Amino acid sequence: MASDATAGTSGADGLHRGSRAVAAAILLSRLSGLVRERVLAQWLGTGLAAEALRAGLRIPNLLQNLLGDGVLSAAFVPSYARLLAEGRREEAGRLAAAVASVLLGLTGVLALLGVVLAGPLTRLLAPGFPPGTEKYALTVTLVRVLAPGAGLLVLASWALGVLTAHRRFFRAYVAPVVWNAAIVAAGVAAGLRGLGEVDVALAVAVGALVGAGLQLAVQLPAVRREAGRAAVRPRRPGSVPQVRGVLHAARGAIAARGVVQLSAYLDLAVASLLAAGAVAALGYAQVLHLLPVSLFGMSVAAAALPDLATAGRSAPAMAADRVAASLRRTTALALPTAAAYVVVGDHLVGLVFGGGAFGAPETRQVAAVLAAYALGLVATTRGRVLQAALHALDDTRTPARLATVRVVVGTLAGVGLMLALDAWRWDAGGPVRIGTSGLAPLAERAADGSLYRLGAVGLGLGATVGAWTETGLLRAAVGRRLPLPRGAAPWRDALLTAATVVAVGLATRTWVPTLLGDGRTTDVVVIGSTGAAALAALVLTGAVELPRPLRRGARRAPAGDPPAGP
Per-residue pLDDT at 502: 95
User: What is the pLDDT averaged over residues 330-344?
Assistant: 92
Question: What digits encode the pLDDT tens for the residues 354-393?
Answer: 877 777 878 888 898 899 999 999 999 998 889 888 877 8
Which residues are CB-contacts of 280 (< 8 A; sequence separation ≥ 6)? 45, 46, 47, 50, 51, 54
Residue 50 has pLDDT above 60, yes or no: yes
Residue 130 has pLDDT above 60, yes or no: yes
Per-residue pLDDT at 72: 65
Per-residue pLDDT at 524: 92
Spatial separation of the C-alpha atoms in residues 491 and 250, rounded to whole Å: 34
Spatial separation of the C-alpha atoms in residues 492 and 498, rounded to whole Å: 10
Spatial separation of the C-alpha atoms in residues 117 and 122, rounded to whole Å: 9
Cα–Cα distance list, 372 to 71, 210, 368 (Å): 28, 34, 7
Residue 460 has pLDDT above 60, yes or no: yes
Per-residue pLDDT at 500: 94
Task: Tell me which of 309-313, 323-327, 554-558 is least confident.
Answer: 554-558
Per-residue pLDDT at 262: 65
Across the strands, what pairs with 430?
Answer: 427
Which residues are CB-contacts of 28 (< 8 A; sequence separation ≥ 6)? 174, 177
Residue 336 has pLDDT above 80, yes or no: yes
Question: What digits encode the pLDDT tens for the residues 411-439?
Answer: 889 888 887 887 776 666 666 676 555 44
User: What is the pLDDT averaged over residues 205-218?
Assistant: 92
Per-residue pLDDT at 296: 73
Which residues are CB-contacts of 116 (< 8 A; sequence separation ≥ 6)? none
User: What is the pLDDT averaged over residues 221-245?
Assistant: 78
Q: How confident is the model at residue 564 (pLDDT cuts 50, 70, 90)?
A: very low
Question: What digits encode the pLDDT tens for the residues 297-314?
Answer: 666 666 666 667 666 566
Per-residue pLDDT at 78: 78
Per-residue pLDDT at 324: 84
Spatial separation of the C-alpha atoms in residues 59 and 112, rounded to whole Å: 13
What is the average pLDDT value for the chain, to the nearest integer?
78
Residue 16 has pLDDT above 70, yes or no: no
Per-residue pLDDT at 484: 80
Residue 538 has pLDDT above 80, yes or no: yes
User: What is the pLDDT averaged over residues 279-293?
Assistant: 81
Q: By the 8 A CB rule, do 285 and 98 touch?
A: no
Q: Per the confidence metrics, is the pTM higher than 0.85?
A: no
From first CA to last CA, the distance across the chain in angstroms is: 31
User: What is the pLDDT averaged over residues 276-290?
Assistant: 77
Kindly state the percentage of the chain with pLDDT values over 70. 74
Residue 346 has pLDDT above 60, yes or no: yes
User: What is the pLDDT averaged over residues 393-399?
Assistant: 81
Residue type, 63: L
Per-residue pLDDT at 124: 79
Spatial separation of the C-alpha atoms in residues 357 and 162, rounded to whole Å: 42
Cα–Cα distance list, 380 to 187, 339, 465, 491 (Å): 31, 15, 11, 16
Task: Tell me which of 90-94, 114-118, 345-349 is least confident.
Answer: 90-94
User: What is the pLDDT averaged over residues 326-336?
Assistant: 88
Spatial separation of the C-alpha atoms in residues 357 and 334, rounded to whole Å: 31
Q: Pick 54 or 470 by higher pLDDT.
A: 470
Q: Pick 172 or 187 by higher pLDDT.
A: 187
